[in-house]
């Protein structure tokens, strides 16, 4: 399904977001784009809340404009990121943001979204940003 607004920049942004959602959908073998959106949103929020503010902004700058909106949704700049250091805490944060009866585990969703982030973003820059996370969270990407 193609949506045309007649505004070239907006149409491109919608198309680019659909490319991301399709990649997540395929990576996770989900049933629909809404589930891909839910996974992307939950993982981006959990990831964002663990990064220092300057790193949050650097990662946000690499995201397509509509994905960036998802990423920043509800964010309030804090002096220090969430101190959760264990993968179980990260998974609980993701799970809390996923809809009820989501077909995958929180870590399964996170792994799929990480794969797409690694694929779509500049690998060197993304790796530098990920270095701010504890090793178990950095290593979610296969």
CA-based R_g, the chain, Å: 15
pLDDT category of residue 3 using cuts at 50, 70 and 90:
low
Give the per-residue pLDDT at 82: 62
Name the H helices within 63-134: 65-72, 87-97, 106-120, 123-130
Strand runs labelled E in the chain? none
What predicted TM-score, i.e. pTM, was given to this entire model? Answer: 0.87
**Is residue 15 a contact partner of residue 5, using CB atoms and an 8 Å limit?**
no
82-118 pLDDT, tens digit per residue, is: 666 688 999 999 999 999 999 999 999 999 999 999 8
Is 141 a residue whose pLDDT tops 70? Answer: no
Q: Could you tell me the domains of the chain? A: 8-138 (1.10.490.110)
Taking phi over 0 as left and psi of -120 to 50 as alpha, with beta for the rest, 101 belongs to left
- pLDDT category at 128 given cuts 50, 70, 90 is confident
| Average pLDDT score over residue span 42-48 | 93
* Token pair belonging to 10: 């907006």
């Amino acid at each position: 399904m193609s949506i045309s607004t007649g505004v070239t920049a907006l149409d491109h942004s919608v198309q680019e977001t659909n490319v991301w959602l399709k990649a997540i959908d395929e990576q996770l073998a989900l049933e629909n784009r809404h589930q891909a959106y839910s996974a992307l949103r939950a993982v981006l929020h959990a990831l964002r809340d663990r990064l220092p503010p300057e790193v949050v902004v650097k990662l946000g700058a690499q995201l397509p404009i509509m994905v960036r909106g998802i990423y920043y949704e509800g964010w309030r700049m804090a002096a220090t990121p969430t101190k959760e250091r264990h993968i179980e805490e990260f998974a609980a944060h993701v799970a809390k943001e996923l809809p009820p009866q989501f077909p995958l585990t929180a870590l399964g969703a996170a792994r799929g979204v990480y794969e797409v982030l690694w694929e779509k973003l500049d690998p060197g820059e993304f790796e530098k940003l990920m270095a701010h996370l504890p090793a178990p969270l950095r290593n979610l990407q296969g």
